């Protein structure tokens, strides 16, 4: 059974990630929790909603997250696939899902997901992470604590630092001398 990071802990996971085969077809098992590509959801939604197991859908960098906004009630999970970790489109998709479309369920990063991007992914609203197979999942947990603050407004910190300063203890804002 695969392991993923969920809310900063390593947990077992039994979701099946389904991909289109080379000829464009896809085999959807009758049982079990599955994550299907957006195109499959759009084409086969009637069949998919009849399944009893939980349903997830996954997006690619080029996909428009707004296409899902009216369908949230059907999903237990939305995943965003990173073809290569340097393709940063998924970060914007995550924020749009969380901040614009109002998705509050599980948001999972899949594909080329590495330890050194976890801090930023988390800031953009991902809460579960299926790391690339070669990654040390247990060691990766420390990456969430790489930084103890952030300047920007984000999903994790809806208020930017400058709007939170008044509530930060005084000794945290004393001058550093040069």
Partner 1 sequence: MYLYDEIDQRLVDERVAQFRDQTRRFLTGELSEDDFRPLRLQNGLYIQRLAPMLRIAIPYGLLASRQLRALADIARKWDRGYGHFSTRQNIQFNWPKLEDVPDILAKLATVQMHAIQTSGNCIRNTTTDHFAGTSPDEIVDPLVWCEIIRQWSTFHPEYAYLPRKFKIAVSGSESDRAATQVHDIGLQATRDATGQVGFRVFAGGGLGRTPLLGAVMREFLPWQHLLTYLEAILRVYNRFGRRDNKYRARIKILVKELTPDVFRAQVENEWSHLKGGAATLTSDEVQRIEKRFTRPAYRKSDALSPDYVLALATDKAFSNWVRRNVQAHKVAGYAAVTLSLKKTGAPPGDATADQMDAIAELADNFSFGELRVSHEQNLILADVRQTDLFELWQRARALGLATPNIGLITNIIACPGGDFCSLANAKSIPVAEALQARFDDLDYLHDIGELDLNISGCMNSCGHHHIGHIGILGVDKQGAEYYQISIGGAQGNQAALGKVLGPSVSQAEVPDVIERLIELYLARRDSEEERFIDVVRRIGINPFKEYVYGNHHQPAASRRRQLATA
Give residues in contact with partner 1 (CB under 8 A).
61, 85-89, 91-93, 95, 100, 114, 116-117, 119-124, 136, 146-154, 158-163, 165, 168, 171-178
Radius of gyration of the chain (CA): 18
CB proximity list for 106: less than 8 A, separation 6 or greater: 6, 56, 76, 77, 78, 127, 128
User: Please, what is the minimum distance in Å from the beta carbon of residue 147 to partner 1?
Assistant: 5
Cβ closer to partner 1: 49 or 147? 147
Measured distance CA(129)–CA(115) in Å, rounded: 10
Min separation Cβ 64 and partner 1, Å: 9
Whole-number minimum distance, CB 120 to partner 1, in Å? 4
State the minimum distance, in angstroms, from the CB of residue 19 to partner 1: 21
Nearest to 125, CA basis, from 162, 97, 88: 97
Rounded CA-CA distance 80/90 in Å is 6
Q: Which helix (H) or strand (E) holds 9?
A: strand 9-13
State which residue, 34 or 78, has the beta carbon closest to partner 1.
78
Sign (positive or negative) of CA dihedral 146, 149, 153, 158: positive
- Closer residue to partner 1 (CB): 4 or 118: 118
- In the complex, the smallest distance separating the C-beta of residue 85 from partner 1, rounded to whole angstroms, is 7
Q: Which is nearer to partner 1, 11 or 62 (CB)?
A: 62
Nearer of residues 128 and 154 to partner 1, judged by Cβ: 154
Look at the alpha carbons of 45, 49, 52, 55 in this order and tell me if their dihedral is positive or negative.
positive
């Amino acid at each position: 059974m695969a392991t993923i990071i969920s809310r900063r802990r390593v947990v077992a996971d039994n979701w099946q990630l389904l991909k289109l085969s080379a000829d464009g077809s896809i085999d959807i098992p009758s049982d079990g929790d599955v994550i299907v590509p957006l195109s499959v959801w759009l084409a086969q939604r009637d069949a998919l909603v009849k399944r009893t197991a939980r349903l997830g859908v996954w997006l690619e960098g080029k996909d428009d997250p707004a296409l899902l906004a009216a369908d949230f009630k059907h999903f237990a999970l939305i995943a965003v696939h990173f073809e290569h970790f340097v393709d940063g489109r998924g970060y914007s998709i995550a924020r749009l899902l969380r901040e614009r479309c109002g998705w509050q369920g599980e948001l999972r990063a899949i594909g080329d997901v590495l330890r050194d991007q976890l801090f930023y992914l988390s800031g953009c609203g991902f809460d579960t992470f299926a790391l690339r197979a070669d990654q040390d999942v247990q060691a990766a947990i420390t990456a969430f604590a790489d930084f103890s603050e952030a300047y920007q407004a984000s999903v994790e910190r809806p208020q930017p630092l400058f709007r939170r300063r008044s509530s930060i203890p005084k000794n945290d804002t004393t001058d550093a001398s040069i």
